[in-house]
Structure 1
Amino acid sequence: MRAGISDQRFDFLAFFFFLAAFLLAAFLLALLPAFLRAFLAAFFGDFFAEDFLTAFLDFFAAFFLGVIFFAIFLAAFLTFLTAVLAASVVALAALLIASAACSRMGFSSSISSSPRVLSNP
């Protein structure tokens, strides 16, 4: 068996593993603030005023989830920006290489020379 095929299978399985891990983390992040608010409000109800604890947990949950979602958005945006930049660099390099190759072989290139498609030498 070739190494590329087995590596590709492991990459395919790893994708679903990381997808499941990400969905589990997102699910826990969605439920954790509500659970903490309910549990800690009941547990520390004797020690803190209920409105203080609820307000503090609401602020903490909003701040924490805001930071997490901002970090995820920033990572996705930078990944997209990197992909667009890489595609642009590759396209430009391919165009310049094709232009140089056409010029060396004597073919007409719209960048290196005027078109000589129908002209006789």
Structure 2
Amino acid sequence: MTTNLQVGNHFSDVELANHENEQIKLSSLTQASLMDQYLGFLDGYPLIVVFYRGFFCPRDRQQFTQLVHFQNELMVNYGKLVTICVDPPLVQAAFRAGLGAQWQFLCDESRDLIKQINILDETELLTRQ
């Protein structure tokens, strides 16, 4: 799998449905708060973007357990986290609630973003044939 992403590139400012089925732009998650802007801190917040296969994946579940523990440290350090998957918003909302996660879960059901940045993992499909 070869991605189209290169060091120094800007990540696409996509708009996807979140776990509450609201449209969210990635840039809205990194914007400086009104207080930060007033104080002159205009750069915004760092954002960690995690793609995952789905609620059904045991590896993803293990990783998400660690991310839930990490979310408090991120908040203290003004970092943001977003996860993106093909699961529909309702499924993501249930998964998020079960984990106790506080960050945005975004839905790329049509796989448009995954195709755009060329990160579709087809290794298991190839081994089944």
TM over 0.5: no
**Structure with the higher strand share, 1 or 2:** 2
Higher relative contact order (CA 8 A, sep 6+): 2
Mark the structure with the bigger radius of gyration.
Answer: 1
User: TM-score of the superposition, structure 1-length normalised?
Assistant: 0.24
